Chain A
Amino acid sequence: MEKTIQHNSNKVIIAENLTKRFGNFKAVDNISFEVERGEIFGFLGANGAGKTTAMRMLCGLSIPTGGKGLVAGYDIGKQTELVKKNIGYMSQKFSLYDDLKVWENIELFGGIYGMKDQEIKEKTDELMRALDFESERNKLVGSLPLGFKQKLAFSVSIFHNPQVVFLDEPTGGVDPITRRQFWELIYDATSRGITVFVTTHYMDEAEYCNRVSVMVDGKIEALDSPKNLKKQFNANSMDEVFQQLARKAKRGD
């Protein structure tokens, strides 16, 4: 039942029967979903459910073995370079350069995405003010505390104004106050029209998303707004929803 994908400017991510197979193992098994422009889309699932693999395919880091995907209007199987130009990505592992200063990291990544020197300079000033980072501007990134680093990494990942940003467990190991500030940054980004695709293990964060999908054993088992999901599963919190779904998982850590 192959459907043709219609490019729709309001749909920033379209996945259709997306599959990734490693030998006999289906890490991602026929998943289909769509993400609207400006949406915060939560991508939940237990460890090993296939979230990271799915995300890597959407970012053009991994080629799907089946199905189709469009990100920012480009085919993730064939137009990976165009996909990459239009997305931002922040991985689980902190991946700015520790031995470069704050402004140097910003300059590097701005430059990589084709921004001009003048534009980089202006936006850097703006960002430093917004984050209240002026005094850290000339510090080596490696010397900053983790919370700082995560906020910076997020800001760098959306510095070039991508259509969509992928966040892979961005708040792991971060204190509640910083997590709160982090989510404020996310909301701020969506208000500028950036779509946010985020994986997380914190169920309170799932509540902040517009819509949430829960992956179990490579398949999407549920997809709706947190409110509707709670109603559907007769639960008080997203945590209960997640527990009910994840209990069905056959493959674990």
Chain B
Amino acid sequence: MIKYLLRKEFKQILRNGFLPKMIFIFPLNVLLIFPWAASYEIKNLNLSVIDNDHSTYSQQLTQKIISSNYFKLTDVSPNYNKALKSIEKGESDIILEIPPHFEKDLVNRQGGKIMISANAVNGMKGSIGMTYLSSIISDYNGQVVQDLMPTGAGTNSTPTIQINSQYRFNPHLNYRVFMVPALMVMILTLLCGFLPAVSIVTEKERGTMEQINVSPVSKSMFILAKLIPYWIIGFIVISIGFLVAWAVYGLIPAGYFASIYLFAAIYILAISGLGLVISNYAATLQQAMFIVFFFMMLFIMLSGLYTPIDSMPEWAKWIAAFNPLKHFMIVMRSIYLKGSNPLQLMNQLMALVGFAVFFNTWAVLSYHKKN
């Protein structure tokens, strides 16, 4: 019996002019575009300079900042208010104010005072800009100290600690290495969790669901026939994802493909269970889409895709703990970057199995409602 239902599902998916294309174009787009565009690295910050000193040192400093490639000089203002205006107009992001007698004070060993103020409407951009600028200035400071050091005093007169830092698992802090595995998780969530839910609600709306309900097809069989095609699509798409990650980003998982497939299978089960729960409660496509949107937002924001979970407030960590997306993202990143095996990821494995059981039980219980 399920043979006929599966045949129907595949025909409907393939005959739908839009869906098959989207199923392939969407993940390709996500994997090919996002990792290049969305980056933590902040470049091209617009800098407004107020140079009250007009000295060699102040010009050297400005020059050094601009040549760092992180900043673009977009505005030179005579005073702070003018500079603030340019921030308000959106022409600059950060202000560097060099006080009068800057050079003189430095040479006289009184130390120079510089003010930086950043537009923190986008907090991240502001604080990162601030950090970059401070580190360039302190670097410059080091140079000046060297220059002003009386010759022969020896460079070891001030003891310094040398830090030798090493980034493990992603030595070049390559942002893409970190993003690609996580993006695959998002793709799976949409394809295997939410597409079947939408497809079930469509049948409700069209009335074909009722025709199935008066037939001997059991609910579980109908649901299974809905899910299996998307599971297959999910596996195909994640395999395409591996291919793209390798071909475009040179990324090969440090761990086994088998572990990824294992976790993916459990994750797909969990997320499609959630999709079914949604389809049980939504009577129309509009309602279903809205619930899907709500969950997608919540899941992505609290998944650790962009902002690390560890730096979230306690309550948000609790919500994130109930987010299947978060767990699978940890899994994907660990297997891809660290080469973790399922034993090391036991917590995530248990969590995902838990979600799969929970959502599917809920789906079955909320489904069998004859009125």
Contacts and interface: CB of A to CB of B under 8 A. Distances in A.
Contact of A108 (B7, B16, B207, B210): B7
Interface in A96-150: 96-100, 104, 107-114
B63 to A, nearest CB: 66
Q: Is the interface of A mostly helix, strand, loop or mixed?
A: loop
B3 interface: yes
B211 A95 contact: yes
B215 A113 contact: yes
A96 B208 CA distance: 6
Contacts of A61: 210, 213-214, 370
B206 interface: yes
Interface string A171-193: 00000000000000000000000
Interface string B185-225: 00000000000000000000011101111111110000000
A112 B1 contact: yes
Given A99-B12, A112-B4, A112-B5, A89 B211 contact: yes
Interface of A: 59-63, 80-81, 84-85, 87, 89, 91, 93-100, 104, 107-114
Nearest to B16: A99
B211 A81 contact: no
B9 to A, nearest CB: 10
Given A81-B216, A108-B8, A112-B4, 14 more contacts: A60-B370, A61-B210, A61-B370, A62-B371, A63-B370, A80-B370, A91-B210, A93-B207, A95-B207, A97-B12, A100-B8, A107-B7, A108-B4, A111-B3
B3 A95 contact: no
Contacts of B206: 93, 95, 98
B11 interface: yes
A196 to B, nearest CB: 16
Given A100-B11, A108-B7, A114-B1, A59 B214 contact: yes
Contacts of B89: none
Given A95-B208, A111-B3, A112-B217, A100 B12 contact: yes
A63 B215 CA distance: 16
B368 to A, nearest CB: 11
Contacts of A96: 208, 211
Nearest to A110: B4
A107 B215 contact: no
Contacts of B1: 111-112, 114
Interface residues of B, number: 24
Contact of A97 (B208, B217, B371): B208
B14 to A, nearest CB: 10
Contacts of B168: none
A61 B370 CA distance: 6
B311 to A, nearest CB: 48
Interface in B77-120: none
Main secondary structure of the interface of B (DSSP, over half): helix
B216 A112 contact: yes
Contacts of A107: 4, 7
Contacts of A99: 11-12, 15-16
A60 B210 CA distance: 11
Contacts, number: 72
Nearest to A104: B11
Contacts of A93: 206-207, 210
Nearest to A59: B214
A98 B218 CA distance: 22
A82 B292 CA distance: 36
Contacts of B16: 99
Interface string B210-253: 11111111100000000000000000000000000000000000
A95 B205 CA distance: 10
A120 to B, nearest CB: 9
Interface string B14-29: 0110000000000000
A110 B215 CA distance: 10
A81 B218 CA distance: 8
A63 B213 CA distance: 13
A91 B210 CA distance: 8
A100 B210 CA distance: 17
Q: 3 nearest interchain CB pairs? A: A111-B4, A93-B207, A95-B211
A218 to B, nearest CB: 16
A149 B8 CA distance: 19
A48 to B, nearest CB: 17
A48 B212 CA distance: 25
Interface string B356-371: 0000000000000011
Given A95-B207, A112-B4, A87 B370 contact: no
Contact of B207 (A80, A81, A94, A112): A94
Contacts of B370: 60-63, 80
A96 B206 CA distance: 9
Contacts of B210: 61, 91, 93, 95
A91 B3 CA distance: 25
Nearest to B370: A63
A195 B261 CA distance: 53
28 contacts: A59-B214, A60-B214, A60-B370, A61-B210, A62-B370, A62-B371, A63-B370, A80-B370, A81-B218, A84-B216, A91-B207, A93-B206, A93-B207, A95-B206, A95-B208, A95-B210, A96-B208, A96-B211, A99-B15, A104-B11, A107-B4, A108-B5, A108-B8, A111-B1, A112-B4, A112-B216, A112-B217, A114-B216
Nearest to A60: B214
